Amino acid sequence: MSIGGTSAGIPQRAIAEINPPRKNKTTGRRIFGVDKLVLTLVALYLLIPLGATLWFGLDTGKGFDPSTYLRIFKDPDLSQTIITSLELALGATILVVVLVTPTAYWVQLRIPGARPLLDFLSLVPFAMPAIVLAVGLLQEYSGSAGPVINYLSLGLVPVLSNNLNIINTPPLLVCSYVIIALPFVYRPIDNSLRAINTTVLTEAAYSLGSGWWRAFLTVILPNIWPGIISAALLTFSTVMGEFTLASLFSIYTFPIYLNVTGQNDPHKAASLSILSFIFTLVCVLGIILLVRRRPAGLGKDGQVEIAAAK
């Protein structure tokens, strides 16, 4: 037994000996209290639907048939939509990391005064869910946004909507995914940057003759790698399952395919849901395995941040 373990136990035991009637009650609670009971029930609540879905996917009405899981792969739409989703997810992940990481570093190093602004911008998606963002973007890039918006955007909205015709295209979808991902990308990267001594590391790199970019790429980046990986995998996993924006932009992604399938064939949809679950599992496992060993992790508890795009 470790010293830490016993020292926490001593006062409890001392009280129990002074006051014998309470002993059983306290020790009983120690072993299996209300919290443990609730935790067990919650774990069951989270596990049962997964087991049920697995069973439902295998069940064809005439008993179990593992070949149903192979059946779902025969649909050409599946591979096509998965590829579309993978491309979108990859695009959004790269864009959000490239956009946020240097910015967060720059703010930390040169203008800490701008931090509240970044905090605000990464909080906005909480107050503006995907459906609202989609309604806004559809009007903004419809080509008739009005003079106020055109001026406020420094003339970029007319270029994007009229010349590049960005509305309902994958690039616009990727950009909106970047916004959705902001809350859970900025936070871990900023936390990682705070955990290392950015200023000292950078000044050390400067004094050894490196420039800003070199200091960023060879000194800072390797140190905040865990934060970046967790942010990237969360973005990836979220985009793979995102339905709202893709639906409003009429882009045929995997979740849309899953929704269409589910209306006709709930058994097939169950199998596809398991596939989707495995995907989330791989992403989260990736975060846990790649991040846990590194020093400057996500937070004190090394826990995974959560995507909020439901």
Partner 1 sequence: MQPQVARGIADTPTARNMAKAPNRARRQGGRGWSYNLTSWLGLVPFLLFCLLFEILPAIIIIQGSFTDDTTGKPTLDNYRHMLSQASNLHAFQNSIAISFVTALLGGIIGGLAAYGVYNLRAGWLRNLLIGFSSIAANFAGVPLAFAFVATLGVTGFVTVAIHNWFHVNLYDLGFSIYQFWGLVLVYTYFQLPLMILITLPALSALRPEWKEAATNLGASNFTYWRRVGLPILLPSLIAATMLLFANSFGAFATAFALAQGNISLVPILINFVVNGNVIVDFGLGNALAVGMIVVLLIAVSLYTAMVRRVNVWQGR
Tell which positions 84-103 bind partner 1, by CB under 8 A.
Answer: 99-100, 102-103
Q: E strands within 105-155?
A: none
Examine residue 125 and tell whether it contacts partner 1 (CB under 8 A): yes
Q: CB burial class (10 A; 0-12, 13-18, 19+) of residue 209?
A: exposed
Give the closest residue to 217 by CA, choosing from 225, 227, 209, 226: 225
Tell which positions 198-217 bind partner 1, by CB under 8 A.
Answer: none
- The one among 85, 219, 244, 291 contacting partner 1 by CB under 8 A: 244
Examine residue 115 and tell whether it contacts partner 1 (CB under 8 A): no
Examine residue 35 and tell whether it contacts partner 1 (CB under 8 A): yes
Examine residue 262 and tell whether it contacts partner 1 (CB under 8 A): yes
Task: Report the amino acid identity of residue 304.
Answer: V
- The one among 188, 227, 241, 297 contacting partner 1 by CB under 8 A: 241
Examine residue 46 and tell whether it contacts partner 1 (CB under 8 A): yes
Q: Which one, 62 or 300, has the nearer CB to partner 1?
A: 300
Residue 5 Cβ vs partner 1, minimum distance, rounded to whole Å: 8
Question: Whole-angstrom distance between the N-terminal and C-terminal Cα of the chain?
Answer: 45
Please count the other Cβ atoms lying within 10 Å of the Cβ belonging to residue 118.
18
Tell which positions 269-288 bind partner 1, by CB under 8 A.
Answer: 269-270, 272-273, 276-277, 280-281, 283-285, 287-288
Examine residue 190 and tell whether it contacts partner 1 (CB under 8 A): no
Residue 222 Cβ vs partner 1, minimum distance, rounded to whole Å: 21
Q: Which one, 219 or 249, has the nearer CB to partner 1?
A: 249
- The two structure tokens encoding residue 259: 């929704």
**Contact between 283 and 168 (Cβ < 8 Å):** no
Examine residue 235 and tell whether it contacts partner 1 (CB under 8 A): no
Residue 126 Cβ vs partner 1, minimum distance, rounded to whole Å: 5
What one-character-per-residue DSSP string does 35-103 give? HHHHHHHHHHHHHHHHHHHHHHHHB-SSSB-THHHHHGGG-HHHHHHHHHHHHHHHHHHHHHHHHHHHH
Examine residue 221 and tell whether it contacts partner 1 (CB under 8 A): no
Examine residue 18 and tell whether it contacts partner 1 (CB under 8 A): no
Tell which positions 128-187 bind partner 1, by CB under 8 A.
Answer: 128-140, 145-146, 148-149, 152-154, 156-157, 160, 175-176, 178-179, 182
As a whole number of angstroms, the distance between CA 149 and CA 161 comes to 12
Examine residue 48 and tell whether it contacts partner 1 (CB under 8 A): yes
- The one among 49, 143, 155, 211 contacting partner 1 by CB under 8 A: 49
Q: Which one, 223 or 244, has the nearer CB to partner 1?
A: 244
Examine residue 193 and tell whether it contacts partner 1 (CB under 8 A): no
Using CB under 8 A, count the residues that bind partner 1: 110
Residue 117 Cβ vs partner 1, minimum distance, rounded to whole Å: 8
Examine residue 234 and tell whether it contacts partner 1 (CB under 8 A): yes
| Beta-carbon contacts of residue 249 (< 8 Å; ≥ 6 apart) | 134, 138, 167, 168, 169, 172, 173
User: What sign has the CA pseudo-torsion 166, 170, 172, 173?
Assistant: positive
Backbone angles phi, psi at 2, to 5 degrees: -80, 160
As a whole number of angstroms, the distance between CA 152 and CA 179 comes to 19
Residue 32 Cβ vs partner 1, minimum distance, rounded to whole Å: 10
